[in-house]
Structures are given as structure tokens and as C-alpha cells.
Homo-oligomer: A and B are copies of this chain.
Amino acid sequence: MDDGLELLTEAECRSLLASGSIGRVGVTVGALPVILPVNYAFVDGTIVFRTAEGTKLRAAVDRAVIAFEVDDYDEVLQRGWSVLAVGHASEVAGEDDLATFRALGLAPWADGTRTHYVRLVPEVLTGRRIVAV
């Protein structure tokens, strides 16, 4: 338990990461904390999402330590879970890797050309389950 929340095992965290498609990236932009949603994939232990050339997000995540969070809640039953991954993000550069990630069909919902792939291998992976009392 952690402050009234049930801690998840690492296996549960990985399973929940694999089940999601929308996550939130936490980074620092101009000394201010920012949280931005992204759609993502979790492949072979790696979180992958896309960014566009010239965006604040792209500049902020490159070689930075970032937080990545996924959660789900049932507001009626008042229960849910959250998983937090922290680690160094890096742009996918090699053609082999790019081909692999392009094959995921990780299409961003929004318009705009998100041609850059960012990868995060979690160095810290924690999760909590919330059950109403």
C-alpha cells in the first residue's frame, strides 16, 4: 500500500501500459512543467509516441528525463488505476528502428506531420490502484 493506494506489480504495470492508447507526457518547457497527451504504443518494453518537427514537445523530450502516465477511471464506481513511467526519452534515429515503429500504424489523431518517433524505456515503473472506500 502507498498512502491508501494499492501498489501494482511491475507485471501489472506492463500489462496496463500495453492495454492503453492515450498517455500523458510530463516535461519541462522553458522551466515550466507541462503535461501533454499523446497516443502511444508499448512494444517490447518500450513506450513509443510521435512528435512533429519544430514543436515544443519535440524539443523538450529529446534526451530529457520525462514522465509518462496512463490511467483509467470509472467515475461511477469510483475506482481506477494509474501507471507512471520515468526515464530518458530519445528520438528514434536508426532506419531499422524507424521501420519497426512505422509498422505499428501509430497514427496520430491530429492533423500535422508528426514524423518523429520518441522512445522511452521506463527506468522507474510504478502503478497504483484506487478503490473507493
A interface residue numbers (CB < 8 A to B): 3-5, 21-22, 24, 26-28, 32-37, 52, 55, 65-69, 71, 73, 75, 78-80, 82, 84, 86, 108-112, 114, 124, 130-133
Bound complex: CA A109 to CA B73 (Å): 11
Beta-carbon contact of B55 and A3 below 8 Å: yes
Q: B79 contacts A109, CB within 8 Å?
A: yes
Separation of A128 and B125 alpha carbons in the complex (Å): 28
> 11 A-B residue contacts at CB 8 Å?
A3-B52, A3-B55, A22-B75, A24-B69, A24-B71, A26-B67, A32-B86, A35-B68, A78-B109, A79-B109, A111-B133
Complex interface: chain B residues within 8 A of A36 (CB): 69, 82, 84
Decide: B32 and A65 in contact? CB cutoff 8 A: yes
Select A67's contact among B33, B71, B84, B111, beta carbons within 8 Å.
Answer: B33
